[in-house]
Structure 1
Amino acid sequence: MVNHNLIAPFPSTSNAPKAVLFTRMELTLILNVYGRMVAAGNWRDYGIHSGRDRAVFSIFRRASEMPLYRIIKSPAHAKRQGAWLILGMDGQILKRGQALGLVLKLFERQLLKLAN
């Protein structure tokens, strides 16, 4: 006979910390720019990281290097500085804003330079 008082219930998932993730639309926008830069020969690899406070899309020239750029989604900063941020290789903030599409325009200028 099993004593049910000794069996611990499964932990509740409602209190578990939630991870910040990219939505499908956000990933589509990022991967469109990424694909164009790969076709231009500038980027070769990427990595995605999700944490409790932010999600990061890292862009690499080569897999063994530090990321060239990091596109960061940080919802906690949405009201103050904007939820979106692009960091350069040295950690410098290159672009910050409320809308992902506007922040990704930083790379559009690079694509135009490559085309010429």
Structure 2
Amino acid sequence: MTGEVVSLAARRLPQIGFERLELNRILDLYGRMVAAGHWRDYAIELGHDAAVFAAFRRAAERPEVRIEKRPALRQRQGMWALVSESGAVLKRGHDLAGVLAPLERRLMKIVED
């Protein structure tokens, strides 16, 4: 030990988060799914490589779907992904609206029934 003090704050990686418009769109969909009686809870995880919004049918379960934002994939298949409860990628794309489209269609079916 040299007795040297090293600042850990200088070594932090930038944290990935949702922009206001992105979060508004996701929370709008979440609110409509709650009103339809399909979802009951959500969680947000902000990490160094991804930001994740998880929607739950019940709080004690695994999330039914996860909406992931991974900016590192922006130039490849797109930074947005819709991931199922089992971990399978249902939809991936460059824009949030296209990735949320399967959930929007499901919501339409729930409201029609």
Answer with 1 or 2: which has the greater Rg. 1
Where 2:38 maps in the other structure, the secondary structure is coil
Unpaired segments ≥5 residues, structure 1: 1-5
Distance in 2 between residues matched to 1:31 and 1:38, nearest whole Å: 10
Q: Which range is displaced more, 40-49 or 98-107? A: 98-107
Higher helix share: 2
Alignment of 1:99 onto 2:95: yes
Which aligned runs of 4 or more in structure 1 are off by greater than 4 angstroms? 12-15
Match of 1:112 among 101, 108, 112: 108
The residue type paired with residue 83 of structure 2 is L
- Corresponding residue for 1:27? 23
CA separation in 2, counterparts of 1:14 and 1:63? 36
Tell me which residue corresponds to 2:50. 54
Over residues 40-67 of structure 1, what are the superposed CA-to-partner deviations in whole Å (9 max), with x where a residue is unaligned? 0000000000111001001000110000
What SS does structure 2 have at the residue aligned with 1:115?
helix
The CA distance in 2 between the partners of 1:97 and 1:65, in whole Å, is: 27
Structure 2: segments with no counterpart, 5+ residues: none
Q: Matched residue of 1:48: which SS? A: strand
Instruction: Give the percent of matched residue pairs that are identical in Structure 1 and Structure 2.
Output: 46
Which range moves more in the overlay, 15-24 or 27-36?
15-24
